[in-house]
């Protein structure tokens, strides 16, 4: 006959296992008999009816919510787990079960390692390699401006575009044939707009 506590908590355990599976194990323990009542998505060969080895509950640090963790555990195969234990009480307020959720950290550790591998210090780019690549200069100049000002290209004002055209002109970009169409595309503006901005830049510079 299925234990009433298993019937009561099975929907919760199955929901957690379904959401976090296959990386989460959910275990329901009997605190009186100190044995496993049920396991959902087991990570080891442990089975219901085996000893829980929970220890003395009265030695736990008092907790108003009866929730302990997350704390770290390690499986024999080296996998690290993040675990949370919830002390479940009966209608009289006495502990009668413990629900444990063990989350395999392997995917998170692997993702963290992958991200860390891309975190090498970024060195200044070798400018001599890009001196002749005016398209790279256009992309770099506009990209840096967008990043520094925190506005996407679509939200750049006329003054923003004027400042960018002035910077690109000072770098000699517009001395290159077909630069205006390329800049217009990068700024998501019309060619006539870029020509007008360039004319204004030159007028201001000649004053």
Domains and their CATH numbers in the chain = 4-112 (3.30.450.20), 127-206 (no CATH)
The residues with which 26 forms a beta bridge, in sequence order, are: 40, 101
What confidence tier does 107 reach under pLDDT thresholds 50, 70, 90? confident
Instruction: Express as a percent the part of the chain with pLDDT over 70.
Output: 87
Q: Judge whether residue 57 has pLDDT over 60.
A: no
Q: Within 10 A of 176 (CB to CB), how many other CB atoms are there? A: 14
Helices (H), the chain: 4-20, 106-117, 134-149, 158-170, 179-187, 191-206
What confidence tier does 12 reach under pLDDT thresholds 50, 70, 90? very high
Whether pTM > 0.75 for this model: the answer is: no
Instruction: Give the model confidence (pLDDT) of 156-203 as tens digits.
Output: 899 999 999 999 999 888 888 888 998 999 898 999 999 999 999 988
* 156 and 192 Cβ atoms separated by less than 8 Å: no
What confidence tier does 128 reach under pLDDT thresholds 50, 70, 90? low
């Amino acid at each position: 006959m299925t234990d009433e506590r298993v019937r009561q908590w099975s929907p919760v355990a199955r929901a957690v296992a379904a959401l976090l599976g296959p990386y989460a194990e959910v275990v329901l323990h009997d605190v009186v008999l100190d044995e496993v009542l049920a396991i959902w998505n087991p990570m080891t060969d442990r089975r219901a009816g085996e000893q829980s080895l929970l220890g003395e509950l009265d030695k736990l640090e008092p907790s108003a919510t009866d929730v302990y963790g997350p704390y770290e555990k390690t499986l024999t195969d080296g996998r690290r787990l993040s675990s949370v234990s919830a002390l479940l009480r009966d209608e009289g307020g006495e502990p009668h079960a413990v629900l444990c959720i063990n989350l395999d950290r392997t995917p998170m550790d692997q993702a963290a390692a992958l991200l860390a591998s891309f975190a090498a210090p970024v060195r200044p780019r070798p400018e001599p390699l890009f001196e002749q690549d005016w398209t790279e200069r256009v992309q770099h100049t506009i990209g840096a401006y967008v990043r520094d000002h925190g506005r996407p290209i679509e939200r750049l004002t006329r003054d923003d575009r004027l400042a960018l055209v002035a910077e690109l002109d000072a770098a000699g970009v517009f001395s290159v044939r077909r630069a205006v169409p390329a800049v217009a595309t990068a700024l998501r503006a019309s060619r006539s707009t870029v020509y007008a901005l360039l004319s204004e830049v030159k007028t201001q510079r000649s004053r």
